[in-house]
Amino acid sequence: MKKIFSIGAAVLGAAVFFGLYQYFRTPESALDARAELVIDSKDFGSSLITDLDPGAIVQLTGQVIASESSSLELEGGVLITKSADQKQTWPEKGTYSFKAKFNGVEVDEFFGDTLYRFNDGFLLLSSNSEDLN
């Protein structure tokens, strides 16, 4: 009986430790995760994204067409929100690569545009040498 109690207490302790570890661990950022899809931003909408779940990590390369302090838009209606961990200033124009988490698809009913939203974005690199300053 004493042996069963000891084994049960050890299993319960391990389960509590594992549960607390999972609860308090820092979630993996988009930069640290492996990209499930690597694609050009203007091809993203025409690709089959039905398999892509919200939270999936995507690496996108595209021309910046609009920029704000913490977000930007790439060709093809791709909107990326900057990660709080990204300290680098984001570009206002040029072709760049980003890694971000897919949020979902939004249809603008007024303009009829389809927008693809991403968050936790990180600037990776410039795609063409003329953008390197």
We report the CATH number of the domain holding residue 114 as 2.40.50.110
User: How many domains does the chain contain in total?
Assistant: 1
**91 in any annotated domain:** yes
- In this structure, is residue 32 part of a structural domain? no
pLDDT tens for 115-124 read 899 998 999 8
Written as six digits, the tokens of 87 are 């300290």
Whether the per-residue pLDDT at 81 is higher than 50: the answer is yes
Q: Domain for residue 14, yes or no?
A: no
Of all residues in the chain, the percent with pLDDT exceeding 90 is 23
Is 15 inside a domain boundary? Answer: no
CB 127 within 8 A of CB 97: yes
Q: What is the pLDDT of residues 6-33, one digit of tens each?
A: 888 888 888 888 787 777 766 566 666 7
Residue-range definition of the domain harbouring residue 54: 37-128
Residues contacting residue 113 through CB under 8 Å, at least 6 positions apart = 77, 107
Using pLDDT thresholds of 50, 70 and 90, give the confidence band for residue 65: very high
Listed residue (86, 46, 49, 90) closest to 67, CA to CA: 90
Q: Which amino acid is at 32?
A: D
Q: Is residue 26 part of a domain?
A: no
